[in-house]
Structure 1
Amino acid sequence: MLPTEQITPYEKVETWLMAYVDWKAQLEYVQTELEYIPGLTKALHEVAIHGYGHPNDALLRTVIHRLEITEHEIPFLKSRIGLIEYAFSALTPEERRFVQLRYQDQLAFSTAMDRLGLSRRAFFYHRKRILQKIYRKIKNRAALLDYDPFNEK
């Protein structure tokens, strides 16, 4: 057994690859949430300045939450996504296609094998080699992918 085979956490790398699509979708969603901050802050100012209605705790919490998104969540998601994309730079176009079909499109093994024209043995050989390449590229920064400050699990 090669040393890289002993230390490559295959399941963990697969989890990161499958989460990559979710991280991108989450980033897109929180960026659209930010579009509503001006309207929310305007509503808060009207309450404070003109005395229209009463201060709304839910409205204030929403504004604060969206500001936290800007300050913490967006940079964190961008870092995670960037790290995975950096790992992709270690792959050949054929290996990227493998990752696209299996992890981003989340096709079943058999469907991905058919689309790639691989036997079961070749599929799992490629899977193992690709996961090793990805892990070797980012292993020193992998803590960013494991850290979960927003309790996503």
Structure 2
Amino acid sequence: MAAFRYAYQKIVDLKSSEKTQAEWQLSSAIGVLQAEELSLSELRTKRSEWESKQHESSHQAVSLAELQLMQHYLEYLDSCIASKLTDVRQAERKVESNRSNLADRMKDEKVWLKAKEHAKDRFRHVMQIKEQNELDEMATVRFKVSVPS
């Protein structure tokens, strides 16, 4: 029996490769998002610590310059947090974009795999018909040989 060879196998392989690449891109984007979220969390923790220090220093004798310095640093941390929030949102959009891309690649691959499967089914059907015709012909020949004329 002949082996099945799909004429568009290279396209199936390409679609599979594109899906794998999309998975890697999504994975990378998720890693960037997690790093940005961790950085944001660290900035918020640092701000909270400095806010506590400022609150504690209000009960102690601290120079005005130190209080101003603390306030300026808190404002700096606020601007860093605002900037980091923008980075996090951008990373989230990138993750969503990569998820959408992966979904598209998965659909493409699935379409081509289904087409391959249908072609394989048609091939099997044709081969079964050929095999059945050969068996029928052999039976006919045997019958003719076994029946005396």
Q: Which has the larger radius of gyration?
A: 2
TM-score (norm 2): 0.38
Write 1 or 2 for the structure with the bigger share of helix: 2
Which structure has the higher relative contact order (CA within 8 Å, separation 6+)?
A: 2
